[in-house]
Amino acid sequence: MARHAARALRASVAGLVLASGACKATTLDERTCPPAGTTLTYEAFGAPFLAQHCQRCHGAAPSDREGAPSSFDFGTHADVHRHKDRIFVRSAADNTTMPPGPDDPTPEERERLAEWLSCGAP
């Protein structure tokens, strides 16, 4: 419980720092889809990425969310489209405030997430 609280606190601090603009995040608008498009799809990339790295908190019951806001679930393709700007700003490319650790996606995975989202998360 204490560990969860500490992690939630760390995550909130990261969110606040980000919101205050103290640390400049790359946004989805700043990223363009490669000219050749993307081969990444929701089924082959997006869903498994979010399941592995996000849904442990974001898709859990209220008691197991470790502070993840109830309005932010990423369990469906529609959820991803609805939240794509925020998913990008917290987790894609050089943005690393989500997940709050310790099992972070690799930089390559964050790059793939950026490419997929910038192409409209097909």
Report the interface residues with ligand HEC, using CB under 6 A. 7-8, 11-12, 14-15, 53-54, 56-58, 66-69, 72, 83, 86-87, 90-91, 98-100
Which residue in the block uniquely carries the two structure tokens 């998360």? 121
Instruction: Rank residues 87 and 119 by Cβ distance to ligand HEC and give the closer one.
Output: 87
Which of 102, 74, 95, 85 minimizes the C-alpha distance to 18? 95
Closest contact distance (angstroms) between CB of 103 and ligand HEC is: 8
Which residue in the block uniquely carries the two structure tokens 């089924």? 43
Instruction: Rank residues 98 and 119 by Cβ distance to ligand HEC and give the closer one.
Output: 98
Closest contact distance (angstroms) between CB of 12 and ligand HEC is: 4
* 120: Cβ contacts below 8 Å, ≥ 6 apart: 33
Which residue in the block uniquely carries the two structure tokens 């995040």? 25
Closest contact distance (angstroms) between CB of 71 and ligand HEC is: 8
Identify the helix (H) or strand (E) that includes residue 114: helix 107-118
Could you check whether the bond before residue 99 is cis, i.e. omega within 30 degrees of 0? Answer: yes
Instruction: Rank residues 35 and 102 by Cβ distance to ligand HEC and give the closer one.
Output: 102
Closest contact distance (angstroms) between CB of 38 and ligand HEC is: 18
Instruction: Rank residues 68 and 119 by Cβ distance to ligand HEC and give the closer one.
Output: 68
